[in-house]
């Protein structure tokens, strides 16, 4: 599993929903992708409107960012979260400007306004050298910080926020499926934010406000649930206490419909013409096509029969306990003959990301490519440079290129 950059478009038009949709569809048409496309974007109104008639889900990492940002926006009763963050930022800024960083055993990290997890990184870096700061109380800025913020307060905040930093890193992966992780993350987040007897008043208050923000901003969609059900460990969805039985039944029905659709698609594919006998016949027959195409034969007789076969396959999948599964994609590869229709559903659904981190990184790369020293690069040239950079393995293997220039 991997991510690929198809194209980078520089638009001079307004970023309206219509313009975004038209530009995106033009790229998909150019590459021949018209069906089975799942869109993952941030939660901006224009993005939601652009793809509301398609299979769309909001970036889970962006939703987490919105929840944490809302929860840390202002002080609340028993938790002066905004005061702590602002005081810490002022101290870190002073440490960098005054050269204090050089006197510390480890440098403090500065927060970035556009990334909530940089607040977490900042708090962790300050907590690591908090005791050392006491030796610099003669500096007014340091003394002001020590008077306002205690190490126990920083510890409480980092213990709550570190969970979201960890899950965000896992949800950003482009090498493994992430859609199936969202219900798991949601369930664990609700448990993580539940108050405990040993929590301080500040920690309990922060958990409460963050729980409310998370329930408002982070959601588990039917697609997330389908992806989770395609992981053998969570196939019945019984582990998720936030679900009701009708929701589990709906996911199972959706899985059956998707499997039947895959069976119909295979049935409608043009039948492969048998190859004539020749010197290379034996070599061709030795290829293991079953792995690449889980339904190499006429597995489904008629469209009316598809749903019945799919339902039986889903029942068999639900009733069989496969044991521990470390790699869900490998599971479906090795069981493609046992569950031919579901393996095709898994290959299609699990490939879509739960976060749009890859596209955000591509945008950042575009910004570094089109700097002030290369301001006259055309949009077509930037597109070509980024395509080569992001797909260098394909370019080198298909065109025989020994190396590709590093554009970073």
pLDDT at 274 over 70: no
Residue ranges per structural domain of the chain: 1-59+357-393+400-408, 64-218, 231-267+294-349
Percent pLDDT > 90 in the chain is 65
Position 273 scores a pLDDT of 53
Contacts of 287 (CB under 8 A, 6+ apart): none
Nearest to 43 by CA among 23, 61, 21, 69: 61
Q: Residue 276's pLDDT band (boundaries 50, 70, 90)?
A: very low
User: For the segment 336-350, what is each residue's pLDDT rounded down to a tens digit?
Assistant: 999 999 999 999 999
What is the overall mean pLDDT for the chain?
86
pLDDT at 365 over 50: yes
pLDDT at 150 over 80: yes
297-302 contacts, C-beta under 8 A, 24 or more apart = 298/267, 299/263, 299/266, 299/267, 299/340, 299/341, 300/263, 300/264, 300/266, 300/267, 301/267, 302/267
Residue that has been written with the tokens 């061709």 in this structure: 284
What is the 8-class DSSP label of residue 79? B
User: For the segment 96-128, what is each residue's pLDDT rounded down to a tens digit?
Assistant: 999 999 999 999 999 987 777 899 999 999 999
239-261 average pLDDT score = 95
Residues forming beta bridges with residue 38, ordered by sequence position: 55
User: For the segment 54-67, what is each residue's pLDDT rounded down to a tens digit?
Assistant: 999 999 999 999 99
Residue that has been written with the tokens 């869900």 in this structure: 328
Report for 4-18, 136-150, 366-380: range of highest mean pLDDT: 136-150
192-203 average pLDDT score = 95
* H helix runs in 350-391, sequence order: 357-369, 379-390
Report for 51-65, 272-286, 299-313: range of highest mean pLDDT: 51-65
Report how far apart, in Å, the C-alpha atoms of 71 and of each of 79, 85, 116, 202, 212 are.
11, 12, 11, 13, 8
* Between 94 and 277, the higher pLDDT residue: 94
Position 361 scores a pLDDT of 83
283-299 average pLDDT score = 34
Position 269 scores a pLDDT of 67
d(CA 247, CA 239): 13
d(CA 63, CA 131): 35
DSSP output for 391-404 = THHHHHHHH--S--
Tokens of 120: 């977490």
Nearest to 331 by CA among 257, 234, 258: 234
Which helix (H) or strand (E) segment holds residue 120: the answer is helix 117-128
Report how far apart, in Å, the C-alpha atoms of 211 and of each of 76, 159, 199, 216, 398 are.
14, 14, 15, 9, 50
* H helix runs in 270-391, sequence order: 281-285, 289-292, 303-319, 328-334, 340-349, 357-369, 379-390
DSSP output for 216-249 = HH----HHHHHHHHTSGGGTT-TT-TT--HHHHH
Residues forming beta bridges with residue 359, ordered by sequence position: none
* Between 368 and 45, the higher pLDDT residue: 45
d(CA 362, CA 78): 41
d(CA 81, CA 128): 19
Q: Are 63 and 43 in contact (CB under 8 A)?
A: yes
d(CA 80, CA 62): 24
Which helix (H) or strand (E) segment holds residue 38: the answer is strand 38-41
d(CA 156, CA 100): 26
Question: What is the CA 110 to chain-centroid distance, rounded?
Answer: 25
Position 185 scores a pLDDT of 95
d(CA 109, CA 119): 9
pLDDT at 397 over 90: no
* Between 361 and 26, the higher pLDDT residue: 26
* Between 268 and 183, the higher pLDDT residue: 183
Tokens of 393: 């393995």
Backbone dihedral region of 32: left (phi > 0), alpha (psi from -120 to 50 degrees) or beta?
left
């Amino acid at each position: 599993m991997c991510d690929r950059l198809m194209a980078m478009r520089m638009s001079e038009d307004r970023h309206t929903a219509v313009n975004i949709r038209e530009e995106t569809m033009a790229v998909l048409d150019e590459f021949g992708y018209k069906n089975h496309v799942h869109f993952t974007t941030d939660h901006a109104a224009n993005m939601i409107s652009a793809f509301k008639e398609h299979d769309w889900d909001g970036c889970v990492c962006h939703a987490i960012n919105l929840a944490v940002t809302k929860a840390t926006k202002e002080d609340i009763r028993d938790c002066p979260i905004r005061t702590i963050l602002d005081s810490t930022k002022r101290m870190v800024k002073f440490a960098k400007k005054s050269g204090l960083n050089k006197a510390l055993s480890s440098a403090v990290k500065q927060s970035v306004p556009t990334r909530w997890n940089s607040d977490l990184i900042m708090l962790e870096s300050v907590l690591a050298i908090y005791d050392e700061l006491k030796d610099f109380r003669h500096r007014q800025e340091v003394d002001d910080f020590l008077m306002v913020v205690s190490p126990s307060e920083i510890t409480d905040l980092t213990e709550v926020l570190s969970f979201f930093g960890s899950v965000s890193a896992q949800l950003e992966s482009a090498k493994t499926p992430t859609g199936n992780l969202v219900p798991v993350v949601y369930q664990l987040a609700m448990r993580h934010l539940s108050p405990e007897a040993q929590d301080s008043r500040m920690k309990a208050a922060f958990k409460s406000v963050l729980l409310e923000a998370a329930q408002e901003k982070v959601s588990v969609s039917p697609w997330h649930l389908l992806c989770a059900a395609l992981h053998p460990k969570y196939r019945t969805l019984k582990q998720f206490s936030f679900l009701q039985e009708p929701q589990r039944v709906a996911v199972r029905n959706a899985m059956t419909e998707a499997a039947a659709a895959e069976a119909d698609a295979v049935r409608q594919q043009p039948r492969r013409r048998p190859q004539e006998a020749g010197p290379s016949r034996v070599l061709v027959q030795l290829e293991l096509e079953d792995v690449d195409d889980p339904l190499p034969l006429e597995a489904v007789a008629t469209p009316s029969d598809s749903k019945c076969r799919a339902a039986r396959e889903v029942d068999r999948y639900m009733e069989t306990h496969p044991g521990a599964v470390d790699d869900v994609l490998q599971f479906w590869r090795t069981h493609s003959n046992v569950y031919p229709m579901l393996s095709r559903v898994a290959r299609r659904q699990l490939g879509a990301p739960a976060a749009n981190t890859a596209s955000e990184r591509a945008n950042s790369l575009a910004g570094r490519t089109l700097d002030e020293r290369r301001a006259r690069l055309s949009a077509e040239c930037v597109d070509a440079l980024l395509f080569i950079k992001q797909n260098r393995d394909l370019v080198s293997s298909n065109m025989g290129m020994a190396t590709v220039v590093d554009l970073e």
